[in-house]
Structure 1
Amino acid sequence: MLLFSLLSVAIAPGLSLLTYLYLRDKYDAEPVHIVVKMFVMGIIILIPIMVIQRGLQLWAADLPWIVSYIESAGVEEFFKWFILYHFIFNHVEFDEPYDGILYAAAISLGFATMENILYAIFTPVSFSMMFTRALLPVAGHAIFGILMGYYLGKAKFSKRRKYYLFISISVPVLLHGTYDLILLSLPATWIWYLLPFMIFIWIWGLRKMERAHARSPFKLYIKEDEVNY
């Protein structure tokens, strides 16, 4: 019964955030089955990521910045980006900037949810610890995905495609790596640095969501329909 409750707490944050982001799609809602597919892909990529990270643990130097920016952030964000680029970037349903945000967040939250489930099963945890994971790691993966998707959207609908593709992987890796570096380098006082960091990047992410909505081509169609009505 306790395990079931912990699993519920592990799963709920990811699904709640994904539902919120899906409902924020104001102008042209994406097919649910594609969003779910990306969420499931996020779960699946956890397996190769764990294998590669284990290999890096055996061969790479155990330095905080290497663990943070390469072993953790570099590997995880690259796999997410790789799947998005090859499965979504040229997809016909990726037809407005916000779509990149939604699909990137879906794969990130799938990964974070599965990571949370494994954490609940194999690590002695309490409800307070799982609540903390909902506020920090799961929310962190969500915002890394939001920013990745925002810049993928810029790449999709901009002439500076290569530049924004580079930014779409660089920004999540840098932010994710900084998040991990704070945890590794400041084990006693990390909370005082991580909370302001999370607040800052969430404000940044929410503003990017509004900018993506503002550039939607469907916004103009809706306004014209309202005028005609």
Structure 2
Amino acid sequence: MKVIALIIAALAPAIALLSYFYLRNEYESNILLQVLRTFIIGALLVFPIMVLQYALEAEGVLRSEWLHAFLGAAGLEEFFKWFLLFFTIYKFVSFHSRYEGIVYGASISLGFASAENVIYLMATGIDYAIGRALLSVSSHALFGVVMGYYIGCAQIASTKVKKVIWMIFSLIVPLVLHGLYDLILLTVHKNVIVIIVPFMFFLWWFALSRSKKANEKMA
């Protein structure tokens, strides 16, 4: 029973956030099965990334907090999420709107966050569930929303140049945001709450503003 309670506590925040972003889609499109598949892909992505992160640590590549934040964490995680979204969704699924990109981005990120959360809580205990829901799971969702917004813009863009520019944004912007998030947690040892809370408010504002814009009809 204790293990079941822990798994529920680990998965509940991601399911709630994914439901929220899925239901905000104002266009008539039934993409639930594809969203669930993307969620599973994100969850499975945890294991190869953990192996790569361990290898980088063991080889002494991540010698500074900056490298750890922008390469070991944000670089690997955001690149592989972006890579899989590109080759499993972008190239094979026609979007009805930019917002569908947001749903897929949130889905793969929350799949990743769910699996990561289960592993973390099994190692540390359920006492950390609320903190991880508010910070780790939420931040992954927001990085995914930002990535998905730009991917949605890329697919609907009218020229190849615009498509390339939007795809570059879809990788770089969430990677930078993720790197800054991890850098704050790695380098600020006193009163970290004073910095991370405003940063989370900024992430929510930025992601929700992209979400609102994505639901607007394009001229």
Give the TM-score normalised by the residue count of structure 1: 0.90
Aligned to 1:21: 21
State the alpha-carbon separation in 2 of the partners of residues 119 and 131 from structure 1: 13
> Structure 1 residue 89: deviation in Å?
0.6
2:62, 2:72 within 8 Å by CA — same for their partners in 1? no
Identity %: 40
Q: Are positions 1:83 and 2:81 aligned together?
A: no
> Which of 172, 193, 196 is 1:194 aligned to?
196
Aligned to 1:220: none
Aligned to 2:151: 152
> Structure 1 residue 204: deviation in Å?
1.0
Runs of 4+ in 1 over 4 A off after TM superposition: none
Aligned to 1:175: 177
Deviations 1:102-134 (A, max 9, x none): 0010000000000010011122441xx210100
Aligned to 1:58: 58
State the alpha-carbon separation in 1 of the partners of residues 91 and 165 from structure 2: 17
Aligned to 2:205: 203
1:45 aligned counterpart, secondary structure: helix
Deviations 1:152-188 (A, max 9, x none): 1111112211111111000111000100000000122
Q: How many residues align?
A: 215
Aligned to 2:31: 31
Gaps of 5+ in 2: none
Aligned to 1:7: 7
Gaps of 5+ in 1: 218-229
State the alpha-carbon separation in 2 of the partners of residues 13 and 186 from structure 1: 26
Larger Rg: 1
2:106 aligned counterpart, secondary structure: helix
> Structure 1 residue 92: deviation in Å?
3.4
Map of 1:206-217 to 2, 5 A cutoff?
Answer: 206-215=208-217
Give the TM-score normalised by the residue count of structure 2: 0.94
CA-based RMSD of the aligned residues comes to 1.4
Map of 1:40-55 to 2, 5 A cutoff?
Answer: 40-55=40-55
2:65, 2:183 within 8 Å by CA — same for their partners in 1? yes
Aligned to 1:68: 69
